[in-house]
Amino acid sequence: MNYKIKGTYDLLPEDSIKWEYVQNKLKEIFKKYNYKEIRTPIMEYSEVFHREGEFSDMVQKETYNFVDKGNRNITLRPEATAGIMRSVIETKNYAQNDILKYFYIGPNYRYERPQKGRFREFYQFGVEVIGLKSPYVDAEVIMLASDIITEFGLDGVLIKLNSLGDNQSRLKYQKVLKEYFESHKEGLCNDCQTRLDNNPLRILDCKIDGPKEVVKNAPKSIDYLTDSSKVHFETVLKVLDENKINYEIDHNLVRGIDYYSETVFEIHANIKDFGNANTLGGGGAYDNLSTDLGGPELTGIGFSFGMERFVEALEVSGAMPNLEYALDAYIITFDEEYNTFASKVLKDLRDHKVIAEMDYDNKSVKSKMKKAIKANPKYLIFIGEDEVKNNLVSVKDTNTQEQKPMKVKELIKLLGGK
Ligand code: AMP
């Protein structure tokens, strides 16, 4: 007996229909904003993620790494952004377009402790806008994230946001923060004591230290913004105000990955008993990722939502519609000798886009009927000696229970076939 790998799951048809609904609706939303789909490989050379200066747990502790048969170091992507930026640099698509607007839906891999809603293979959907630094771009991306929540019928959308500023602001802020935490070192957890040297910003969103007074009272990044970063952030807020986007500023929001700069944000909904899982997604701008990957100076901003969490949020809140697999016609033959005739009827129906099924089993008509009722088709199609002789089918409306013979052409018309 073989089992699935810890932290993975099988998506079965009763759930994949929900994913299909979400993906189709998402694609409609992305289309409105003129975002186009990008699909990058699931595996990349390790250095795409293991970059100098990237100290996040996700990259340091949670990546799946292996050496392939050609002795290359490969990593399964833990997130989408770095691979997308690698692609933009490699294809030089930025040279022909001053702005690239991508959306993606796909799997990521993180060696995390599996728990409710946290997997080792999980899907994310999101966007990346690369090439143009503008507060209006930031605002558009945030508004799109907010729109996703409301379009799917989830309540209480709230954007939490903060600004880390440009490199100059960040360096200044990092220095101040380091000094502050140096003088409060004894109150910090072990991980944060290391973070003090690597990236003191990450102390702010530490799960252990984050709620402590010492962290809550830490200096705020927005007090150390350069003039241009300040104007940038204020303009983002102004556009959000004008568009009545529900947001609040969270001074401790820095996000888990080290490449963020300027605007960072999280997208929350208000689902009863969903607790921390109400954080459905997060994102931010990244000014240094391209140069860290050996590319030109290119700015970007994006967000990602966890697909599993999003689907669960829709279900828990009652926003997931009732979805069923439709079946128009279900063919039952009275004996195997009529199956060839029936197979032609079946093909004809399908050629006209009718959703049709046939029972190939040679069991009794009674047992076939039982199965057919379970399949819940709109019409049952009976084929026996008379039908074959007269080139007809007997059609039973499962709603009215009315039954009559007709030509396949008429059946196709009845079923709205095209
Ligand atoms: P992150 O990329 O860590 O900023 O996460 C963005 C979103 O992805 C989160 O809000 C979660 O919904 C989802 N997510 C992150 N890690 C996992 C995981 N291991 N399993 C399931 N969903 C995840």
Residues 6 or more apart in contact with residue 198 via CB below 8 angstroms: 55
Which residue type occupies 177? L
Ligand 1 centroid–CA 174 distance in Å is: 26
Number of the ligand 1 atom closest to the C-alpha atom of 110: 19
- Residue 377: CB atoms within 10 Å: 20
C-alpha R_g of the chain: 28
Domains of the chain: 13-166+226-317 (3.30.930.10), 329-414 (3.40.50.800)
Q: Which residues line ligand 1 (CB under 6 A)?
A: 79, 110, 112, 117-119, 122, 124, 256, 279-282, 304-306, 308-309
Q: How buried is 191 (Cβ within 10 angstroms: 0-12 exposed, 13-18 middle, 19+ buried)?
A: middle
Ligand 1 centroid–CA 199 distance in Å is: 21
Q: How many A from CA of 119 to the centre of ligand 1?
A: 9
- The CA distance from 214 to 95, in Å, is 46
pLDDT in tens, the chain (418 residues): 999 999 999 999 999 999 999 999 999 999 999 999 999 999 999 999 999 888 888 888 999 999 999 999 999 999 999 999 999 999 999 998 889 999 999 999 999 999 988 999 999 999 999 999 999 999 999 999 999 999 999 989 999 999 999 999 999 999 999 999 999 888 889 888 888 888 888 899 888 888 888 898 999 999 999 999 999 999 999 999 999 999 999 999 988 777 889 999 999 999 988 888 889 999 999 999 999 999 999 999 999 999 999 999 999 999 999 999 999 999 999 999 999 999 999 999 999 999 999 999 988 989 999 999 999 999 999 999 999 999 999 999 999 999 999 999 999 999 988 8
Pocket test for ligand 1, best of 113, 304, 312 (most atoms within 8 A of CB): 304
Q: Nearest Cα to 329, choosing from 401, 418, 402, 414?
A: 414
